[in-house]
Structure 1
Amino acid sequence: MDSILLVNDSATFNAILTQNLRDRVRGGIGTALDHGSALEMIQSGEWSLVAATFNPKKPDNIALFEALDQAHIPAIALVEELDDGLDATGRYTESLVDFFVYDAPDALERLQSLIERIHWSEQTHVLVAGAATAQRDLIGDLLHARRFVVKQTGVLGGVLDALQTNPNIRLLIVAGMPMEECAALVRSVRNCWSRDELVILALPPMAADMDGVRLLKNGVDEIIRQPICAYSLLAQVDRGLELFEFHQGLKKAATTDRLTGLINRRGFLERAQSLHASAQRQVIGLTTAIVRIVGFDAARMVKGPLFTDLLRKEAAEVIGQAYRRNDVVAQLAPHEFGILLVDMSPEQLPRFIDELTNKLHQRSVVYKGKLTRLRVAIGVSLDLQKSFPQMLDVAERRALAIEEGEDPNQITSPALDDDDQDGATGDAQELTATPTEVPTARAPMPRKR
């Protein structure tokens, strides 16, 4: 059965990954909140991949991974410290495909990407080129453990033949070749396959920096670091394949926030420029709203990036369902969302902001047994400024003022240079200190007939 099992004591964590992976996994996704339940599920079902938290000090964690090792079920160890991941790698050689450390604000996004890549790696072919050396064999073993289909060859002609006859090869790793031969091979391959078609990693025969620079100029995407480490090598492989997927257009990485599924700041600004131009021609009315998660940075420092990922996912679910058909909603930053409201009258706006605020404040996140309520500050810019960045600036500063307990009424114009002060259009409007009250502003301009 082609299924994935997620084991984590956070139901929200499991729910987010289940939702984001559902369309990408053929056989389905199972979840367990504790390792005892997960052990029973493993014994009673068939799983293609298990992603479970691992703490070497907890007996139930050890029992689960020992069972996975005995059953040869591919597994990812989710750890909080690098040393715990290295410990798991040494213990569970039959099952452990990789380990993952929650060490950055985008941890949940990277974990989702890792699960997807491992789940589909049986369809990804890797060609390892070079003389039969211990280093080449080590690279092959690491890729085999990661469930890639690994092909090996030692000569230039064999590399070109393999690439021409096997369209599933997405990654070429060159190792164990003299420098001149290695550079010639890369040049020959790049003459036929662009970076959009094939990722190339290379292990220089010597540790000299100039060798690496030379290979990069010849078309290598990344230089494999020495000494070879499973953690860093697989991270480089992941980065290379993510770049390939981006070039192929398999993911909307350029304009989509991977965790929330909303468009990102780049996509938001592209859409906003078009709407702002229409508003300047008096075709539509345009209002900009900014939603900030209160206390986000402090929460990330105290509770870690996984907690704030869960927090912004909760906020995104509410905000993503609140807008109307012609509106635009985006994740502008980890702590900030943007909403473009098209043709919303000043009479409708206070009720919209009030309802959105109430819905957001009803949401909460349970993390490590503790419940935290979601709190937001919403800033609004009603006036049509000379440029959209000026509208965005007003809304962002008003939202920040509300979060910091200051008076947003003082922010009546964008923060412009002296030369641009006459660029704003429209009368300045006041915004009260609470997000549930919105100032009365001019009605949207009538449509041209």
Structure 2
Amino acid sequence: MTLLEPIVPATILPQRVLLLENSRAYVRAVAQAIEHKLELPVATASSLAEARALLDRHDDWFLALTGLVLADGHRDDVVNCLLGRGLSTVVVTGVYDEGLRQRLLRRRVIDFVLKDNPGSLDYIVWLVKRLDRNRRISALVVDDSASARAHTASLLQTYGYRVVQAGDGAAALRVIERDSTIRLAMVDDAMPGMHGVELTRRLRALRPRDRVAVIGVSGRDDSDLVARFLKSGANDFLRKPYSREEFFCRVSQNVDQLELIGSLQDLATRDFLTGLPNRRHFLEQAERMVPRMREAGRPLAAAILDVDHFKRINDGWGHEAGDHALRAVAAELSTHARPGDLVARFGGEEFCLLVPDLADGPLLDYFEALRRRIEDLDVPSPNGFLRMTASIGVRTAGANDDLHRLLADADRRLYLAKAGGRNRVVAAG
């Protein structure tokens, strides 16, 4: 059964980082790096008294980075103050003490970082970034042992993940099917009914490697088990018992890899300037959508939208203003589009749409409303507010139309809209 539902994230997550350290030079370097690279607000304190005052003044704390040498507080007082307020805490110190490190990690301090190590500043920035992003990710823990499941879930929650638990493979598959926010699955092997390897294989049929990272887990000393997990679709494997730090590094490495793949996919499928899907991605999706809609007998329309006199905008207002104008049009298209619509920037000042399940009057109303949204835009620029209009050509799919014919006819009607005076929709010959 599912034991925990994913926590619904707040609309605005706490952002403020507390940096508690008596070295002004180090505070300045860390604060500047976090604010510049991550755009998170940093509040600094050089004493425990200052830190308490800051904590009392604000309630939107996300994380604390703290040293252990302060004039007005023993290191245990510092840690007790931060953990006692439920604040996620990373210790940053210049002295390595293995006993102290182990004791603090047992107290759910997130990490113990030596600040004098080469690369420690880069590591701290990465760590803060990782912990910030974790709050938007759900992780699934699958294990028939309640104690093992709770331990893994607790570790993931310490690092900020929203956690869902399942006690067997069948429950895990149900959770995966209904929760699209899950990006990580920790799968134990030895479970009744469906072993972890089989669950991994079935999970892969629901979510590919670029959507969910699967980490197999087992306490068995079986040299073949790792290979079976990996060949069934797992991204990685952890053998019990594992240390907290190994757990965090493995999990973070796999989630980082997912995000890297997502970034590369965005580069391949999204227009850099506007953030809309690009021409290539649109055509790939549309090639599948057009025959599917035709076979189902559902109405489908293609449209090409062109910003009127765009060359005049670039020549008269400058190319930066032209970029602002294109981004503004793209934002209106994204806002206006319904969930099932396909929208893309085709190139230059031209955009393309595929709109299903609208015909005749409602279809014309849809595009007239879009035209008016663009006409009503006031785009700020250094020289004042820029106004613009757009022309739209629309073609409704017939029984034998393919994508090429749809787009070609929409383009001809765009030409008619331009020839007819611009700032208009032409949806018929």
TM-score by length of 1: 0.49
Partner residue, 2:176: 163
Map 1:35-184; keep pairs closer than 5 Å: 35-46=48-59, 47-54=61-68, 59-79=73-93, 80-81=95-96, 82-90=98-106, 92-93=107-108, 96-102=109-115, 105-175=118-188, 177-178=190-191, 181-184=195-198
Question: Is the Cα contact below 8 Å between 2:47 and 2:70 reproduced in 1?
Answer: no
> In structure 1, what is the Cα distance between the partners aligned to 2:190 and 2:118?
39
> In structure 2, what is the Cα distance between the partners aligned to 1:251 and 1:8?
40
Distance 1:197 1:78, change over 3 A: same
> In structure 2, what is the Cα distance between the partners aligned to 1:202 and 1:58?
46
Question: Is the Cα contact below 8 Å between 1:3 and 1:26 reproduced in 2?
Answer: no
Is the aligned partner of 1:227 residue 2:279? no
Question: Is the Cα contact below 8 Å between 1:187 and 1:218 reproduced in 2?
Answer: yes
Question: Is the Cα contact below 8 Å between 2:65 and 2:89 reproduced in 1?
Answer: yes
Structure 1 residue 22 displacement after superposition: 2.5
Structure 1 residue 75 displacement after superposition: 1.1
> In structure 2, what is the Cα distance between the partners aligned to 1:70 and 1:7?
16
Question: Is the Cα contact below 8 Å between 1:77 and 1:100 reproduced in 2?
Answer: yes
> In structure 1, what is the Cα distance between the partners aligned to 2:174 and 2:111?
31
Q: Deviations over 1:121-141 (max 9, x none)?
A: 221110011213422221111
Structure 1 residue 36 displacement after superposition: 4.5
> In structure 1, what is the Cα distance between the partners aligned to 2:241 and 2:215?
15
> In structure 2, what is the Cα distance between the partners aligned to 1:102 and 1:83?
18
Map 1:3-22; keep pairs closer than 5 Å: 3-22=16-35
Q: Deviations over 1:267-309 (max 9, x none)?
A: xxxxxxxxxxxxxxxxxxxxxxxxxxxxxxxxxxxxxxxxxxx
Q: Deviations over 1:401-438 (max 9, x none)?
A: xxxxxxxxxxxxxxxxxxxxxxxxxxxxxxxxxxxxxx
Question: Is the Cα contact below 8 Å between 1:136 and 1:176 reproduced in 2?
Answer: no
Q: Which amino acid aligns with 1:2?
A: Q
Question: Is the Cα contact below 8 Å between 2:149 and 2:165 reproduced in 1?
Answer: no
Structure 1 residue 109 displacement after superposition: 1.9
Q: Which amino acid aligns with 1:206?
A: R
Partner residue, 1:410: none
Q: What SS does the corresponding residue of 1:195 show, helix, strand or coil?
A: coil
Structure with bigger gyration radius: 2
Q: What SS does the corresponding residue of 2:240 show, helix, strand or coil?
A: coil
Partner residue, 2:414: none
Partner residue, 2:251: 237
Distance 1:57 1:198, change over 3 A: farther
> In structure 2, what is the Cα distance between the partners aligned to 1:16 and 1:250?
30
Map 1:272-351; keep pairs closer than 5 Å: none
Distance 1:40 1:251, change over 3 A: farther
Structure 1 unaligned regions, length at least 5: 253-449
Structure 1 residue 185 displacement after superposition: 1.1
Q: What SS does the corresponding residue of 2:164 show, helix, strand or coil?
A: strand
> In structure 1, what is the Cα distance between the partners aligned to 2:183 and 2:37?
19
Question: Is the Cα contact below 8 Å between 1:97 and 1:146 reproduced in 2?
Answer: yes
Partner residue, 2:232: 218
Distance 1:208 1:29, change over 3 A: same
> In structure 2, what is the Cα distance between the partners aligned to 1:103 and 1:136?
37
Structure 1 residue 152 displacement after superposition: 0.9
> In structure 1, what is the Cα distance between the partners aligned to 2:119 and 2:40?
27
Partner residue, 2:199: 185
Identical-residue share of aligned pairs (%): 18
Question: Is the Cα contact below 8 Å between 1:128 and 1:174 reproduced in 2?
Answer: yes
Question: Is the Cα contact below 8 Å between 1:186 and 1:219 reproduced in 2?
Answer: yes
Q: Which amino acid aligns with 2:256?
A: E
Task: After superposing the two structures, state which structure 1 stretch, 55-64 or 29-38, moved more.
Answer: 55-64
> In structure 1, what is the Cα distance between the partners aligned to 2:191 and 2:53?
52
TM-score by length of 2: 0.52
Q: Deviations over 1:366-414 (max 9, x none)?
A: xxxxxxxxxxxxxxxxxxxxxxxxxxxxxxxxxxxxxxxxxxxxxxxxx
Distance 1:51 1:165, change over 3 A: same
**Number of residue equivalences:** 250
Distance 1:149 1:84, change over 3 A: same
Q: Deviations over 1:81-111 (max 9, x none)?
A: 3433222123x45xx3333345863332222
Q: Deviations over 1:169-220 (max 9, x none)?
A: 1110002634972111111222332222111111124122221222122222
RMSD, matched Cα: 3.2
Q: What SS does the corresponding residue of 2:202 show, helix, strand or coil?
A: helix
> In structure 2, what is the Cα distance between the partners aligned to 1:244 and 1:167?
14
Q: What SS does the corresponding residue of 2:50 show, helix, strand or coil?
A: helix
Partner residue, 2:210: 196
Structure 1 residue 12 displacement after superposition: 4.1
Q: What SS does the corresponding residue of 2:129 show, helix, strand or coil?
A: helix
Q: Which amino acid aligns with 1:172?
A: A
Is the aligned partner of 1:208 residue 2:222? yes
Q: What SS does the corresponding residue of 1:203 show, helix, strand or coil?
A: strand
> In structure 1, what is the Cα distance between the partners aligned to 2:145 and 2:218?
15
Structure 2 unaligned regions, length at least 5: 1-13, 267-429
Structure 1 residue 52 displacement after superposition: 0.9
Q: What SS does the corresponding residue of 1:191 show, helix, strand or coil?
A: helix
